Every structure is written in C-alpha cells, then in structure tokens.
Amino acid sequence: MRVNLPLFVGALLFLTNFSQAQAIDSLGTNTISKEVRIGPRNLVPEDLMDSTTLRKLKVDQYFRLKIAEAGKLRDLQDKQYLRLALADPAGTAATATTLHVLDDLNRIYAEADDTRGQADILISYGLYYGKSGDLNKAVGYFSQALRLKESLQDKQGIARTAENLALLYKALGKFDASILQARTNIKVNSSLKRSAETAGGYLLVAQNKILQGHYREAESIILQKSLPLFRRVGNKVGRMRSFETLGHLYYLDGKFSEAKWFYIQANMMADKIGDTESKISNLIGLAEVKYALGENELALGDYRKAEILAINKKSLVKLVQIKGSLGEVYREMGNYLAAGLAFEEYSNLRKNIPEMANL
C-alpha cells in the first residue's frame, strides 16, 4: 500500500499539537478555574424549611420568652398594687415626699420631743421606701412607728400601720408575719366598730392563706368573715375585691366554673363603681379561666376587651401581660400568624418597661 506522505505528515503534526494542548490544560496552565456551588451560598437549617414551619418556630421562641418572664411581670404588678395600697394614716406623706424634707422634719420633732410627730415622720419614711421598692427598709420604719403609736394608744394609727406592715410582709413573701399584722389590724378595727376596715383585714389574711396554698381556709374566711361584713355596710369596693379574690382562689384550685362565676360578679361590680383598673384585672382573670376550660374564642374576646381598656388607661404592664396571653391562646389554636403578631407586640412593648428591657 502506498502512503500519501504529505497527508501523513500533516496528520501527525495535528495529533502532536492536540496532545500538547491537552497536556497543558491538564496542568491548569491554560485555563481559569471557577468555583461551582450547589444551593444557597450560606446554607442554614432555615433554608430547608417552609414559611409555616419557620413561623411556628418563631412563635415557640416567643412563647418560651413569655413563660420565662411571667414571674417578673407578676412582681411588677404586685409592686404597682403595693404603691397604691400603702396609705398614710397621719396625712403627712403628701407634703413630705423627699428624704431631705423628711430628715428636716424628723430633726425638728426629735428636738421638740414630739412623739406623735416622730411617729408620723417614721410612717412617711416607710411610705417613701415602700413606694420606691426598698421594702425591708420600709418595714423597719413602719415597725418603729407602730411601737410609738402603741405607746400613744392611737388605735386608728395602730390599725393602719399594722395594715401597711401586713402588705409589706406579704410582698416580701413573709406570709405568717403578714397574717400576724393583719390580725392586729382586725382586732383594733373591730374594737372601734369599723366594719369595712375589719373586713379588709380578714381579706388580707385570706390572700396570704391563698399564697400559702391553704385554699379551704381562705375560702372560709372570705365567705364567713370579710364578704358578710362588706355587705352589711354596703361596701361595693370590698365586695368586688372579695369576688375577685375568690375567683383567683378557685382558678388556682382548678374549680373553673366557680372561678368564672366570681370573676363575672367582680366584673359587674367594677362596672358599677367605675373602677377601670379592676375591670381590666377581672377580664384578664376571666379570660384565664375560659382558656383553662378550652373556651379559646371566648377567652380571646375577654382579652380583647381588656386590651382596649388597658390602652385607654395607659396600663403598660397589664397591656404587656395581655399581648403575651393573646399570643399564647392563638398558639394553642394553631393560628401562628396571629400568635406571631401578638408576641411581636409583646416583645416591643416590654422594652418600654425599664425592669424588663434588659432581660
């Protein structure tokens, strides 16, 4: 066979150049390498989830935050109640609201050896520290004032100072000490034939008993002592507080039908006397009972009513509580969109409360 020499040489040169080009490419000297990535650049678990699952996870995160902060929110509400409940039997604290003024007055009364004036200033010190949150220091001043009131045989002063001590001890979690002071209040007011004040002392004892878990004893005190006395003198505020306390007692004891009835009565009484703050509290209590009974739609209705009142009243702490509870109810119902919105409002509002802003 004859070989076409020019054609053979051309083919040989082509193959040689092709092989060299391949060798160069295989060493990477003649190409630009590009990174190839499959999927998102920063792949995280959320990239693999749908929007519904993501929303549920966010709601669950808010819910855990709300549960963790529930105790702090209760403490803030208790402090607000204490500031309102502490009262001045002598009428001096209204004009003596700074330590500088109190110190000057205390020195004047001490130099004049005025025991009554000294007792009143000690009470003002107690009110100052009690309302500012230093409860132990407040107890110290009220205790000194009580001893002076006893030496003066000032029965009304003894009764009111003992009541303030009972409120402070209750806030400090010293329930036996609180009950002891409340019983002093009852004894003195009873001797003075002051039925409404005596009933208030019994109610304070019952509230301490509830905190100790002695539900039957607390129930008996309210139904047999405080409530009949409040009714006898036509004290609507006292009756409302008795109803509200019974509603809370039965809720804690798992007797939800009874709790609902008493919260409804308390709510009606709050309407009659125009007490918006109590109405908000009673609506919240009623909503909690309905939620416990599985009446979620009804619970939402009560929370929404309470929300409107809290907004109008500018009750920030209660509004935070309501928003968190709305989120919890919506979460239980599986409405994660509504739950997320409520929890976001809860999170934003809590930042306006100094004691919660940095939690």
Contact 229, 199 (CB under 8 A): yes
- Interatomic CA distance for residues 339 and 327, integer angstroms: 4
**Residue 11 pLDDT > 50:** no
The span from the first CA to the last CA of the chain, in angstroms, equals: 96
Give, in degrees to the nearest 5, the angle at Cα 246 between 242 and 250.
Answer: 175
User: What integer pLDDT is reported at residue 1 of this predicted model?
Assistant: 46
CA–CA dist 339, 332 (Å, integer): 9
Cβ atoms of residues 121 and 67 within 8 Å: no
Contacts of 294 (CB under 8 A, 6+ apart): none
Mean pLDDT of the chain: 87
Instruction: State the Cα–Cα distance between residues 303 and 284, nearest whole angstrom.
Output: 6
Cβ-Cβ contacts under 8 Å for 273 (sequence gap 6 or more): 236, 237, 240
pLDDT by residue (tens digit) across 191-218?
A: 999 999 999 999 999 999 999 999 999 9
> CA quadruple 151, 157, 163, 166: dihedral positive or negative?
negative
Query: For residues 1 and 249, what is the distance between their CA atoms, to the nearest angstrom?
Result: 116
The predicted model scores a pTM of 0.81
pLDDT of residue 46: 54
Residues 313, 131, 72, 253: is their CA dihedral positive or negative? negative
Nearest C-alpha neighbor of 221 from the set 208, 238, 235, 203: 203
Q: How confident is the model at residue 98 (pLDDT cuts 50, 70, 90)?
A: confident
Query: Comparing C-alpha atoms, which of 312, 331, 319, 307 is closest to residue 356?
Result: 319
Residue 234 makes CB contacts below 8 A (sequence gap 6+) with none
Q: CB–CB of 292/258 below 8 Å?
A: no
Q: Which of 66-70, 184-188, 300-304 has the lowest mean pLDDT?
A: 66-70
Specify whether the CB–CB gap between 353 and 320 falls below 8 A.
yes
How many percent of the chain have pLDDT more than 90?
A: 69
- pLDDT value, residue 241: 97
Residue 93 predicted with pLDDT over 50: no
Cα angle 313, 318, 322 (rounded to 5 degrees) comes to 115
Taking alpha carbons only, the member of 121, 139, 147 closest to residue 82 is: 139
Buried b (16+ CB within 10 A) or exposed e, 301-340: ebbebbbebbeeeebbbbbbbbbbbbbbbbbeeebbebbb
Contact 153, 159 (CB under 8 A): no
What value does the mean pLDDT take over residues 165-174?
A: 96
Length of the chain counted residue by residue: 359
Closest CA to 204 of 231, 177, 228: 177
Q: Which of 2-16, 184-198, 258-272 has the lowest mean pLDDT?
A: 2-16
Helices (H) and strands (E) in the chain, counts: 17, 0
Give the model's confidence band at 80: pLDDT under 50 very low, under 70 low, under 90 confident, else very high.
confident
30 vs 107: which has the higher pLDDT: 107
